[in-house]
Amino acid sequence: MNYESAVRYLLSLGRELAAPTQAAAAKFDLENITILAERLGRPDRAYPAAHIAGTNGKGSTAAFFESILRHAGFRTGLNTSPHLEKINERIRINGEEIPDEALAETFTRIQLLIEELLAAAKLRAHPTYFECVTAMAFEYFARQRVEFGVFEVGLGGRLDATNILSPVVTIITRIDFDHENFLGHSLREIAAEKAGILKPGVPFVLAEQPAEAREVILSRATKLGSPVIEAAQVFRVDRESMQEGRIRARIREADSGKVFELAPSLPGRFQLQNALNAFAAARLLQNRGFRIPDDALTVGIANTIWPGRLEKLQSAPDVYLDGAHNPGAARELSYFLEQNFSGRKIYLIYGALRDKAVDEVAGLLFPHAAEVIFTAPRTVRAVSAGQLAEITGHHAAHCSVIPDAERAFDHVLAHAAPEDAVFITGSLYLVGQLRHYWKQRAQVATR
């Protein structure tokens, strides 16, 4: 297969959260990925790995941790989801996306093995889109001889395809409500699914949690004999400051008294917690013999790139992208707006998916906006712009409905003054779509 046909085939298998009617092959256990990994020779065991779960911040934490390792001199593999613009983003080596040709070649080889396993009745169904991409990451990293792999859970943890890993360290970021239809309708149930990534005796880093989630996770850790490092307790903030939305903090390690200066490159106060998660995991590896210089800890965090999360595209007017798609993420974006954009006119371009708590998210974000523009990303899972307005419009001071996302973006840029701010949010699908469109507009403008 060439690149286009490989991507088309993968997409035909259904997205990660596709309903059974959209992906008849959907399987919510580890049987498929285990059989496929065994046939591949267990490439997931060819390198030490970190495994990261959580509701919010797991992608940023993975990016921080990979950057630390890369700046320490490791050849790194990073597997994350979802992607914003191109599937290649999910599989990176040393920060570089898998090339089109390598993606097509890797999937073609794996697809031949899948057909072989199906013919021999060793697989009961074709692996899903996410299972295939996970297997591709395992295999590509092994063939490219990465020295450390960093893997972000796709959904939950216990039954996620990445959970066949045997990591040297795991991380659980902040837990909140999201994907309740899959993970449960209480924080205790959701935490139990996330805690499913813990392995016997494998140390893990735990971000600050709601009490009920922390209790569930620590109980599971005790049963498994998994040593725990609670990042917020091990590293205390001596002082912090904010400048243009970015935080700088002086932190002290509780046991050693050692002091570090952390300046995450990503804006938002919440990124300090994500940076601390990665920092704590890297310190743990240092203590276990991994060669990670102290300066790699701070330089790696200061040079992390993670698009679509409070990413600033331009100035005059300021345009930001942020995939705040659940209440926890919306609270963080709300705080960012309150601290950095008070008194400025804010346009909010908002689109969301059907399985999201849109009314709660709207209640947190819309009061900050002078105008909300309802739109919809190009996915069958999107709430229509008109329906979104009906459900959440009461939270907005002023609103309009422009179903086509690109037209909505053009409309706002035509009306926003240089001193105004534009935030595109609600769905990572929308963020990725308009990020791509903004780059196209910029290319046209420079011709």
Q: Which residues contact 47 (CB under 8 A, 6 or more apart)?
A: 77, 141, 142, 146, 147, 148, 149
Work out the angle at residue 285's Cα, subtended by the Cα atoms of residues 281 and 286, and round it to the nearest 5 degrees: 115
pLDDT at 356: 78
pLDDT at 21: 33
Q: Report how far residue 149's alpha carbon sits from residue 146's, in angstroms, rounded to the nearest whole number.
A: 7
Q: Which residues contact 35 (CB under 8 A, 6 or more apart)?
A: 117, 122, 123
Q: Report how far residue 275's alpha carbon sits from residue 64's, in angstroms, rounded to the nearest whole number.
A: 6
Work out the angle at residue 153's Cα, subtended by the Cα atoms of residues 20 and 6, and round it to the nearest 5 degrees: 60
Q: Tell me which residue has tokens 């191109």.
A: 86
pLDDT at 28: 56
**pLDDT < 70 stretches in the chain:** 15-28, 178-182, 185, 447
pLDDT at 26: 46
Beta bridge partner(s), residue 51: 151, 170
Would you state the structure tokens that stand for residue 333, as one six-digit string? 């974006």
pLDDT at 183: 79
Q: Report how far residue 369's alpha carbon sits from residue 397's, in angstroms, rounded to the nearest whole number.
A: 8
Q: Report how far residue 268's alpha carbon sits from residue 282's, in angstroms, rounded to the nearest whole number.
A: 22
Cα torsion 288, 219, 57, 46: sign? positive
pLDDT at 444: 81
Specify whether the CB–CB gap between 213 and 55 falls below 8 A.
no
Nearest to 64 by CA among 283, 257, 223, 221: 283
Could you tell me whether strands 91-93 and 76-79 are parallel, antiparallel, or unpaired per DSSP bridges?
Answer: antiparallel
Specify whether the CB–CB gap between 52 and 165 falls below 8 A.
no
AA identity, residue 399: C
Q: Report how far residue 367's alpha carbon sits from residue 203's, in angstroms, rounded to the nearest whole number.
A: 42
pTM of the model: 0.94
Nearest to 204 by CA among 164, 173, 240: 173
Q: Report how far residue 39's alpha carbon sits from residue 225's, in angstroms, rounded to the nearest whole number.
A: 31
Nearest-10 Cα torsion for 149, 153, 154, 159:
120
Beta bridge partner(s), residue 309: 322
Specify whether the CB–CB gap between 434 and 405 falls below 8 A.
yes
Work out the angle at residue 249's Cα, subtended by the Cα atoms of residues 246 and 252, and round it to the nearest 5 degrees: 160
pLDDT at 355: 76
pLDDT at 447: 65
Largest CA distance in the chain: 66
